[in-house]
């Protein structure tokens, strides 16, 4: 069964590289995985927190930062350093369909830290804003999915690295919101005092 999954994973990434790579995509998609590209979005999130919760916004900001910190530690120490699965950019460079678009990064790729971190943030924000009746809330999940796909597209992760990263990140984001809700339930009401 593991051999079948590995074969599927290899075929899936090669199919993506063979059929979805384009001149425009090869310029745009690598930018989507860069943290600096998303700085304006992070500033908007902080602005929304401050506007909604005023002086208490720092609590939610700290929880969100802790969520990302936990997800990053989990992805590296409980997955990459244990499973030690080489990234496709270390194993597929001899394949004619494979095209590496960025620096390969570290040696191991299971699970994708980008996928874990961004899905943890996305689920945290989705649940938090769902309780606060924010519109277009599904865009948080879409944002994480785009970043995960970018990891496969540029050649630094297999699809299963990203899919499993989404699951791990989603669970971490969900647990962080549970902890926030149990310690500060007022953030899950429509109106709170600043």
Provide the number of structural domains found in the chain: 1
The Cα–Cα gap between 84 and 37 comes to 29
Judge whether 162 lies within some domain: yes
Mean pLDDT, the chain, as a whole number?
93
The Cα–Cα gap between 11 and 90 comes to 16
Predicted pLDDT at 23 = 93
Judge whether 10 lies within some domain: no
Predicted pLDDT at 129 = 87
- Those residues with Cβ within 8 angstroms of residue 65's Cβ, 6 or more apart along the chain or in another chain: none
Predicted pLDDT at 116 = 98
Predicted pLDDT at 194 = 41
For residue 105, pLDDT over 90 is answered with: no
Among residues 91, 114, 96, which one has the least CA distance to residue 166?
114
Q: How many helices (H) and strands (E) does the chain have?
A: 9, 0
Cβ atoms of 122 and 107 closer than 8 Å: no
User: Which of the pair, 174 or 194, is modelled with greater confidence?
Assistant: 174
**Confidence band, pLDDT 50/70/90 cuts, at residue 193:** very low
The Cα–Cα gap between 29 and 1 comes to 32
Judge whether 94 lies within some domain: yes
Q: Which ranges of 75-158 does DSSP label H, i.e. alpha helix?
A: 81-83, 88-91, 113-131, 139-154
Judge whether 193 lies within some domain: no
Judge whether 15 lies within some domain: no
For residue 140, pLDDT over 80 is answered with: yes
Judge whether 123 lies within some domain: yes
User: Which of the pair, 159 or 138, is modelled with greater confidence?
Assistant: 159
Cβ atoms of 81 and 100 closer than 8 Å: no
Judge whether 92 lies within some domain: yes
Domain of 135, in residue numbers? 52-188
pTM of the shown model: 0.92
Judge whether 17 lies within some domain: no
**Confidence band, pLDDT 50/70/90 cuts, at residue 191:** low
**Confidence band, pLDDT 50/70/90 cuts, at residue 72:** very high
């Amino acid at each position: 069964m593991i051999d079948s999954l590995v074969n599927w994973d290899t075929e899936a990434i090669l199919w993506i590289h063979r059929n979805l790579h384009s001149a425009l995509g090869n310029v745009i998609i690598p930018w989507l995985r860069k943290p600096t590209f998303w700085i304006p979005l992070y500033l908007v999130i902080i602005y929304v927190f401050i506007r909604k919760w005023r002086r208490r916004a720092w609590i939610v900001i700290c929880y969100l930062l802790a969520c990302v910190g936990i997800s990053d530690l989990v992805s590296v120490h409980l997955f990459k350093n244990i499973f030690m699965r080489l990234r496709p950019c270390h194993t597929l460079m001899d394949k004619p369909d494979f095209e590496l678009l960025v620096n390969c990064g570290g040696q191991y790729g299971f699970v994708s830290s980008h996928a874990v971190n961004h899905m943890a943030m996305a689920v945290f924000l989705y649940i938090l804003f769902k309780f606060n009746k924010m519109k277009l809330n599904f865009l948080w999940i879409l944002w994480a999915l785009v970043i995960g796909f970018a990891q496969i597209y540029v050649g630094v992760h297999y699809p299963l690295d990203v899919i499993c990263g989404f699951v791990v990140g989603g669970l971490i984001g969900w647990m962080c919101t549970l902890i926030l809700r149990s310690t500060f339930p007022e953030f899950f009401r429509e109106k709170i005092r600043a």
